[in-house]
Structure 1
C-alpha cells in the first residue's frame, strides 16, 4: 500500500522532498546494517517496536512513498533506532520534517498534543469531561456525607453522655419527681411512664386497683393510666425514672430508698 502524497510544484518543497529521501536512505541503511550485525530479523524488531513489518522494511530500503507523513516517519525511525540500542531522539533528529531543520535535542520534548489529529482531540475532550464530572460527583457526595455526619454528631454525643451516666448508676435528672407534679391539668386523666435504669421492685395502683406489683429488670419501660389517681411505690427510687403525662422523665428519689408517689387528676370546674 502506498501512502498518498500531496503534489507541490514549488521548488523549495521539491528540494525538501529530495533531502528527506536521501536522509531516509542513509538512516535506513545504517539501521539495516546494525540489525543484521545484531542477528535480528524484521519480525523480531516488529515485536520490539510494534511497528508493522512493511513500514520497517520501507525505512531500511529508503522507500519514502510507502511511509506516512514526515513527522510520523521521524517517530518510526526513533523507535526503530531505540530497539537496536541507539539514541533514538538523536538518530531520528537528522531526518528533516520541515524547511526549518528541527533541533535533534528538542525532538523528545515535542508535545503529543501537537501530533494529535481532530478525531484524537475529540476523544481527549470527551475523556476530560468524563473525568471532571466524575470528580465533581465524588466531591458533592463527600460534602453531603460530611454535612450528615455533622448533624448527627450532637445527637450521638448527647446519647453517649446519657448512656455513660446510666452505666455509672447516675441519674440524668437528680430532682425527685415528687417536686415536679404540678403539671397535671384540670380534668385530664393521669398517665405515667416508668423506665428502669436498675432492677427494682414496683407496685402501681390505678383508681384503687393494683395494676402491677413485682420486680422489673433494667431497661424495662411500662405505661399506666388512671382517670382519678395513680400511686407508684418502689424500693429503689434511684433506679426508676418516671414521667407524668408524657413530660420529661424524672428520678423518683435517692438510690436504694423506698418512695411512694400519688398523682391525682385535678377535677373539672
Structure 2
C-alpha cells in the first residue's frame, strides 16, 4: 500500500515535500526549537519530523497522513499549517502552490529592526573612533607644549606652564613660597624643597640622615631642625630651596652636585640665604 502511494505521488510531489520540509526546518531553527520540542507538542515521532524536513518519502506513510503531519508541525512552530498542508497534494494531480508562505518566510529572515540595529552599530563605531582620535590629538598637543624647550637658566614651576628664571625670581619665589610656607614652626631651622625635575637628594637633620633617595618632579617636602639642615642634591638646578619661610632659590646650576647647610644664624636679607659647604660639579653619586 505504501509503495503504491509513493509511486502515484511521483517526482513532483517529492520535490514539493523537500521544499516544504526545508521551509519548516528554517522556521524551527530561527525560533531555536529542537525536534524533540516539536515532538512534545505535536506527538509526531522525531524520525517522522526529520523525514519531512529531509523530504524523504521512503520514511513516511501515505500522502494523506503526510499532509496531516505537515499541518500539525507548521501550527506548532507558529506558521499557517492549513496553507502548507494544502500545498502538498494527496493525489496524483499536482496543484499549484501559493507563494504566500515563501514571501512570509523571507520577511521573517530580514526584519526591519535588524537594519536599524546595524545602522546604530555603524554610527556608534564612527562616534567612538572620532572621540579616540580627537583625544589622542589633544594629548599629543598637550605633551608637545609641556615638553617644549626653554631658554638656558629658565625653569618651569611644578604644576604650572609659566617659565621662570633669573629674570623673574620674585614671581617664582612667591609661587613656591605659597606651596611650602608653614603655618607654624616649632623649631628655629625650617627648610622647604620643591623639585622642578627629578633629582637625587640626601637630607641631614641635626647630624642624622633623614632621607636619601630620588624624588620625582613636583615633589614638595619640608624638614625642621634645632640646629642645622644639610641638603645634598644630585642636580642642583632641579631643586628650589626655601629657608625659614623666605623666598625660594635654586640650589645651583643644572647637572651640578651641590651641598648646602642651613642653620638659625642665616639671615633673610642682605646676603645669600644659604651657606655652601662643598660643591662638586659633574660628580658621580
Q: Compute the TM-score of the two structures, normalised by the length of structure 2.
A: 0.34
Higher RCO (C-alpha under 8 Å, 6+ residues apart): 1
TM-score (norm 1): 0.36
